[in-house]
């Protein structure tokens, strides 16, 4: 699957517009899919953050993604622009920060790949994105650091390059700390950072789940329904990976508990051999539990957005 060749079908529209629409739709599909345990969706809001805030953010970031397609450098600046645009158009706080960390490199990679040849494999796309993030600079790190106050992102307390320290920017310059190097430091406790430094393998995995699901190959009982496939991909990724957004807010044990619950739900579907609807009550029960406890698998949602983006580029339609 990772070596399957896909052709971009952009019609009469310029390539940047096509890629930006794929990114925008990926964000809308992810937040609209339901039930998605613990996360905001079209039927579930938080007290201060609503479904509509995510739609506003997805709409606001369109020009930044379009610009990214034509850029070879400036990852940090583009992430900063995406965060600023998101926050200018809605008052619900941090909606897509982690997703921007994935979508910006992928949009840049798509622009690089498709400039000469509008065919690609998922491996080529992830390899291109990996090259781009490896070539980030200290300027990218400085721009990245400036995002946190704007977006109100919760982070782990660290000894080096602490976001709470006024000297952090000076330290970045003194140690010539590129954004890639910063992500490498965070790889052990942040799954999005880990994706940056390990070649976006989970994002590729998620894209494959979605493409196969829509083709009736991955869990045929999903009925090639985009909502079912997105929820399934979310549960599958959650079952296979500790969600570090939960770990940061709570602890590792809580994150592992949620992953085991997701795994158990999927195993029941496989064992029963029935369609996706048979496990909906279990998904809804977990959703209710996590919403009540305010446990949000946000990092998993970010990877699903990236997976949807790649799948849409690959031609998935519904």
Name the DSSP letter for residue 12.
T
Per-residue pLDDT tens over the stretch 152-180: 665 555 556 555 556 788 899 999 999 99
- Averaged over 22-28, what is the pLDDT? 98
Cβ–Cβ under 8 Å, residues 182 and 173: no
- pLDDT at position 168: 85
Residue with the two structure tokens 């992500």: 183
Cβ–Cβ under 8 Å, residues 300 and 243: yes
What mean pLDDT value characterizes the chain?
Answer: 93
- pLDDT at position 116: 78
- pLDDT at position 270: 85
Of 19-23, 110-114, 227-231, 272-276, give the lowest mean pLDDT range: 272-276
Cβ–Cβ under 8 Å, residues 147 and 171: no
- pLDDT at position 1: 63
The percent of residues above 70 in pLDDT, for the chain, comes to: 94
Phi, psi angles (nearest 5°) of residue 7: -115, 130
Per-residue pLDDT tens over the stretch 106-121: 999 999 999 878 899 9
**Residue 132, Cβ neighbours under 10 Å: how many?**
23
Rg of the chain taking only CA atoms, in angstroms: 19
- The first and second tokens of residue 112, run together, are 């690089």
pLDDT at 253 over 90: yes
Per-residue pLDDT tens over the stretch 202-249: 999 999 999 999 998 877 778 889 999 999 999 999 999 999 999 999
- Averaged over 189-211, what is the pLDDT? 98
| 295 against 269, higher pLDDT | 295
Asked whether the CA dihedral 99, 105, 111, 113 is positive or negative, the reply is: negative
Residue with the two structure tokens 């045929």: 220
pLDDT bin (cut points 50, 70, 90) of residue 12 is confident
pTM: 0.95
Distance in angstroms (rounded) separating the CA atoms of residues 76 and 83:
11
Contacts of 288 (CB under 8 A, 6+ apart): none
Helix/strand/coil for 7:
strand
Distance in angstroms (rounded) separating the CA atoms of residues 318 and 148:
36
Helix/strand/coil for 142:
helix
- pLDDT at position 5: 95
The structural domains of the chain, ordered by start, are 12-216+301-314 (1.10.4200.10)
Q: Three-state SS string across 194-210, please?
A: HHHHHCCHHHHHHHHHH
Q: Where are the alpha helices (DSSP H) in the chain?
A: 15-32, 51-60, 62-69, 75-88, 97-114, 122-134, 138-145, 147-151, 168-174, 179-186, 191-198, 201-214, 226-240, 244-249, 252-272, 280-293, 298-313
């Amino acid at each position: 699957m990772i070596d399957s060749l896909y052709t971009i079908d952009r019609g009469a529209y310029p390539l940047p517009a096509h890629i930006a629409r794929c990114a925008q739709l990926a964000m809308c599909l992810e937040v609209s899919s339901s039930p998605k345990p613990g996360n905001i969706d079209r039927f579930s809001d938080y007290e201060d953050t609503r479904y509509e805030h995510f739609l506003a953010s997805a709409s606001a970031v369109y020009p930044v993604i379009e610009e990214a397609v034509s850029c070879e450098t400036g990852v940090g600046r583009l992430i900063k622009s995406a965060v600023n645009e998101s926050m200018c158009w809605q008052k619900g706080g941090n909606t897509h920060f982690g997703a921007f960390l994935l979508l910006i490199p992928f949009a840049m990679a798509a622009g690089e790949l498709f400039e000469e040849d509008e065919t690609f494999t998922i491996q080529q796309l992830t390899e291109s994105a990996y090259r781009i993030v490896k070539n980030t600079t200290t300027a990218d790190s400085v721009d990245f650091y400036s995002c946190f106050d704007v977006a109100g992102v919760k982070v782990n307390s660290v000894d080096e390059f602490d976001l709470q320290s006024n000297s952090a920017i000076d330290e970045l310059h003194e140690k010539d700390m590129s954004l890639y190097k910063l992500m490498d430091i965070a790889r052990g406790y942040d799954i999005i950072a880990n994706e940056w430094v390990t070649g976006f393998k989970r994002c590729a995995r998620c894209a494959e789940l979605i493409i196969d699901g829509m083709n009736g190959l991955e869990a045929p009982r999903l009925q090639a329904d985009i909502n079912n496939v997105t929820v399934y991909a979310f549960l599958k990724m959650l079952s296979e990976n500790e969600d570090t957004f939960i770990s940061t807010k709570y602890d590792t044990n809580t994150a592992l508990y949620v992953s085991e619950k997701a795994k158990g739900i999927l195993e029941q579907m496989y064992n029963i051999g029935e369609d996706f609807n048979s496990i909906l009550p279990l998904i809804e029960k977990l959703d209710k539990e996590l919403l009540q406890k305010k446990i949000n698998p946000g990092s998993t949602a970010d990877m699903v957005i990236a997976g949807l983006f790649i799948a849409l580029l690959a031609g998935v339609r519904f």
